[in-house]
Amino acid sequence: MQALRIHAHGGPEVLVAEAVPDPVPAPDEVLVRIRACALNHLDLTLRAGFPTLKMELPRILGSDIAGELAATGEAVLLAPGVGCGLCHACLAGRDNECRRYQMLGYQRDGGYTELIAVPRRSVLPLPSGLDLTTAASMPLVFLTAWNMLVRRARVRPGQTVLVWAAASGVGIAAVQVAKLWGCRVFATARKEQLERARGLGADAVIDHYDSNLPVARAVKQLAPEGVDVVVEHVGQASWEQSLRALAPNGVLVTCGATTGYDARVDLRFLFSRQLRLKGSYMGRRADLDEVLDAVAAGKLRPVVDRVFPLAQAAAAHRYLAESHPFGKVVLAI
């Protein structure tokens, strides 16, 4: 089969097209013919290399995959990560806490290729009404947003939520999940993307590049006490404003560090306002079933910005990094 692999870290040029052996499924695995694979910022980080992310090379990137069961032709979606299925965390339904949890495209080969072998428990039916390209844009970001808001922040109806970078995959998902749970949502984005963020359901939108009105100050104009929850996945560039935007007893939940990981906290501010900081990693396999049900019912809506053929994956990486897409970038295979 044909695949794009990286043999060394670097720029988009390290994505190398080559013939590799077809995967041979283990007894508990099935073979899936890939038709679409969505990009995530994680792909860019893994390709470029990151001090704390260790990865065996060569590696096929890509965590978000839709395709067909090779044996039957049935359209399916794949969970982006899988636990061992045997440890206490997995047996308790907390598979994203498994010490042997593996993400497609990171700890095991992913979707920049034609075929993949995955555990049977990773396979999900395609939600009705979704084509494979749109379906591929959904799993990782919606599962991540669900875990952040529902599991970690424990949002409740009537709370106020600030979502950073609402044009990104996680941001688009988080705005919709927060609204699904009856929250008031403030969303940040670039000036030219604000109305599209509002179209997702945001109650108010904030230009996070407006130097005359920092995000925390804009939040306080809308909610003088601050927000109950901040969905943080930008990292170093937004961290201080995220903390300042919180109301007393508020919770900041973070899943990423796109702009850097060296975030500082004034502990006096943290304990005097009784704030809570929570990390979030992926999400539970069972929660993905709930996400798919909500998508099938039209309550959550994945958004695709642009589709590239697999052979143009390097251009897709550049587009995601430089062009500020609204929604997901997907490779058609």
Task: Kindly state whether residues 160 and 269 are assigned to the same domain.
Answer: yes
Task: Kindly state whether residues 20 and 131 are assigned to the same domain.
Answer: yes
Q: What is the mean pLDDT of residues 324-332?
A: 97
Whether 294 is covered by a domain: the verdict is no
Between CA 106 and CA 97 the distance in angstroms is 16
The residue segments making up the domain with residue 25 are 2-137+302-332
Q: What percent of the chain has pLDDT over 70?
A: 100
Q: What is the pLDDT of residue 288?
A: 95
Task: Kindly state whether residues 117 and 9 are assigned to the same domain.
Answer: yes
Task: Kindly state whether residues 148 and 216 are assigned to the same domain.
Answer: yes
Whether 38 is covered by a domain: the verdict is yes
Task: Kindly state whether residues 116 and 20 are assigned to the same domain.
Answer: yes
pLDDT tens figures, 18-69: 999 999 999 999 999 999 999 999 999 999 997 777 889 999 999 999 999 9
pLDDT tens figures, 150-173: 999 999 999 999 999 999 999 999
Question: Token digits for 25?
Answer: 């499924």
pLDDT tens figures, 90-132: 999 999 999 999 999 999 999 999 999 999 999 999 988 899 9
Which residue type occupies 144? T
CB 274 within 8 A of CB 137: no
CB 11 within 8 A of CB 309: no
Between CA 48 and CA 4 the distance in angstroms is 15
Q: What is the pLDDT of residue 157?
A: 98
Whether 290 is covered by a domain: the verdict is no
Task: Kindly state whether residues 146 and 273 are assigned to the same domain.
Answer: yes
- Residue 309 CB burial class (10 angstroms; 0-12, 13-18, ≥19): exposed
Integer angstrom CA distances of residue 19 from 2, 124, 244, 317, 319: 5, 28, 51, 21, 25
Number of structural domains in the chain:
2
Q: What is the pLDDT of residue 108?
A: 96
Task: Kindly state whether residues 21 and 118 are assigned to the same domain.
Answer: yes
Whether 51 is covered by a domain: the verdict is yes
Task: Kindly state whether residues 207 and 275 are assigned to the same domain.
Answer: yes
Task: Kindly state whether residues 164 and 178 are assigned to the same domain.
Answer: yes
Task: Kindly state whether residues 181 and 126 are assigned to the same domain.
Answer: no
pLDDT tens figures, 137-152: 999 999 999 999 999 9
User: pTM here?
Assistant: 0.95
Residue keyed to tokens 């919606």 = 142
Task: Kindly state whether residues 175 and 93 are assigned to the same domain.
Answer: no
Reply yes or no: is the peptide bond before residue 119 cis, omega within 30 of 0. no
Residue 320 C-beta-side C-alpha neighbours within 13 Å: 27
Q: What percent of the chain has pLDDT over 90?
A: 93
